[in-house]
Amino acid sequence: MNIKSRRSYVVWLLSRPSWMSLFFALSLYLPSYSQEAFLGISLGGANYQGDLQDKILTLDGMTPGIGFNILYAPNNRFSLSAELFRGVLSGSDAKPGSRNQSRNLQFVTQLIDASIAGRLNFYNNRDFIFIPYATAGATLFYVDPYTYDTDRHRVYLYPMSTEGQGLPGYSHVPSHHTLNGAILFGGGVEMRITKKIRMDIEVGWRKTFTDYIDDVSGDYPVFRDLLSARGPDAVQYSYRGDEVSGGSLLYPSGTARGNAARDDWYHMVSIRLRYSFRSWDLDNVNRKYLMRNTGWPYNLKRVKKGNGLKPCD
């Protein structure tokens, strides 16, 4: 459409008694974008940072995980994604180099991470093969930490109230929940393999709002309180320093068990493979199709030739 015919069409639209006239008049001057939708699979791992592991980023102890994602890109620079990832988080005082080997605590938990994030490409992804990007969003995640007894049987820790959670006189101790929220941020590099296939390598951090991913946060409760409320098993899994050589046999009532001033984090390293299953070119949107029920008497073929709501190749 040339400038003269475009202006004539704008004047005609603005003469119609409808707010939609303004919308479609302005749409003629907006830049056209390609939109794409992707389905993908991710392989990677997760690791945690807290009272049993204080490294911001490490592959030590990271176990494999798998995820599935969908991504919608309204233009070549910005996109929105949703992902469901399943992995494992773990930590142990028994690892070499641990500063708390005498504490002798450990945990393992299944991790289910459901996230929604926005992504900003630093370059136009049609002009480059490798595109660095930044990402940020929100996560809802599930954890339920457990440990092992001396016979390697699983023992779930939350019901044990290892720091007095839910006991009379311990209302100051935060309760723990299996479902929690987090803020996610990170970055990565996207690679165009073909026109339809993309691969991402991404590192992302989750800043959580709980200090109980590892079931370690504050102080040991008073021995008698925990014993009377939860029994001898709770006492055993609250304090395990007596199981190591040279460890004290006395339960350390009221002393520090963890660092309550800092919430737990976890990070994920992922490789994603995505396939573009649908794409559109907004410059080809058929306005006659959008306005088919309005009864507007104009011939769209004279306004713009070759319009049509068609998937891009």
Query: Given this model, what pLDDT does residue 312 score?
Result: 46
* pLDDT, tens digit, 9 for 90 and up, residues 261-277: 999 999 999 999 999 99
How far apart are the C-alpha atoms of 162 and 167, rounded to whole Å? Answer: 10
In a domain, residue 312? The reply is no
Say which residue, 160 or 57, is predicted with more confidence: 160
Query: Given this model, what pLDDT does residue 10 score?
Result: 42
In a domain, residue 3? The reply is no
Name the residue range of residue 197's domain.
Answer: 31-303
How far apart are the C-alpha atoms of 172 and 170, rounded to whole Å? Answer: 5
| Neighbour-count burial for 63-78, b at 16+ CB within 10 Å, e otherwise | eebebebebebebbbe
The CATH number for 66's domain is: 2.40.160.20
Residue 216 in tokens: 């370690």
Close Cβ partners of 46 (under 8 Å, ≥ 6 residues apart): 62, 63, 65, 85, 87, 88, 89, 111, 113, 266, 267, 268, 269
Question: How open is the CA angle 93-167-210, to the nearest 5 degrees?
Answer: 50
In a domain, residue 227? The reply is yes
Q: Lowest mean pLDDT of 20-29, 123-132, 252-261, 292-301, name the range.
A: 20-29
Q: How many domains, in total, are found in the chain?
A: 1
How far apart are the C-alpha atoms of 285 and 14, rounded to whole Å? Answer: 20
* pLDDT, tens digit, 9 for 90 and up, residues 68-124: 999 999 888 899 999 999 999 999 998 877 788 889 999 999 999 999 999 999 987
Helix (H, G, I), strand (E, B) or coil at 229: helix
Are 67 and 44 a contacting pair, CB within 8 Å? yes
In a domain, residue 126? The reply is yes
Report whether pLDDT(208) > 80. Answer: yes
In a domain, residue 86? The reply is yes
Report the pLDDT averaged over residues 62-71.
94
User: Confidence band (pLDDT; 50, 70, 90) for 281?
Assistant: low
* pLDDT, tens digit, 9 for 90 and up, residues 297-307: 444 444 444 44
Strand partners, 135: 119, 186
Residues of the chain above pLDDT 90, percent:
61
User: Confidence band (pLDDT; 50, 70, 90) for 286?
Assistant: very low
* pLDDT, tens digit, 9 for 90 and up, residues 148-206: 988 889 999 999 999 999 999 999 999 999 999 999 999 999 999 998 999 999 999 99
Report whether pLDDT(23) > 90. Answer: no
Report the pLDDT averaged over residues 229-250.
91
Strand partners, 36: 73, 279
Say which residue, 61 or 229, is predicted with more confidence: 229
Sign of the dihedral through C-alpha 20, 26, 27, 33: negative
Taking residue 201's Cβ as centre, other Cβ atoms within 10 Å add up to 14
Report whether pLDDT(65) > 90. Answer: yes
Say which residue, 102 or 19, is predicted with more confidence: 102
Amino acid (1-letter code) at residue 299: N
Round the average pLDDT of the chain to a whole number and report it: 82
User: Confidence band (pLDDT; 50, 70, 90) for 13?
Assistant: very low
Query: Given this model, what pLDDT does residue 33 score?
Result: 55
Close Cβ partners of 254 (under 8 Å, ≥ 6 residues apart): 219, 220, 221, 222
How far apart are the C-alpha atoms of 147 and 109, rounded to whole Å? Answer: 9
Query: Given this model, what pLDDT does residue 250 score?
Result: 93
User: Confidence band (pLDDT; 50, 70, 90) for 293?
Assistant: low
How far apart are the C-alpha atoms of 235 and 157, rounded to whole Å? Answer: 11
How far apart are the C-alpha atoms of 33 and 262, rounded to whole Å? Answer: 44
Report the pLDDT averaged over residues 240-266.
91
What is the pairing mode between strands 34-49 and 154-156? unpaired
In a domain, residue 16? The reply is no
User: Confidence band (pLDDT; 50, 70, 90) for 282?
Assistant: low
Which alpha helices (DSSP H) does the chain contain, by range? 3-14, 19-27, 223-230, 232-238, 287-290, 300-303
What is the pairing mode between strands 78-92 and 63-73? antiparallel
Q: Helix and strand tally (H, E) in the chain?
A: 6, 10
Helix (H, G, I), strand (E, B) or coil at 222: coil
In a domain, residue 248? The reply is yes
Q: Which of 36, 42, 115 is nearest to 78 (CA)?
A: 36
In a domain, residue 19? The reply is no
Say which residue, 54 or 161, is predicted with more confidence: 161
How far apart are the C-alpha atoms of 67 and 82, rounded to whole Å? Answer: 10
Taking residue 118's Cβ as centre, other Cβ atoms within 10 Å add up to 12
Query: Given this model, what pLDDT does residue 272 score?
Result: 96
Query: Given this model, what pLDDT does residue 56 score?
Result: 82
Say which residue, 19 or 45, is predicted with more confidence: 45
Say which residue, 14 or 96, is predicted with more confidence: 96
Are 118 and 135 a contacting pair, CB within 8 Å? yes
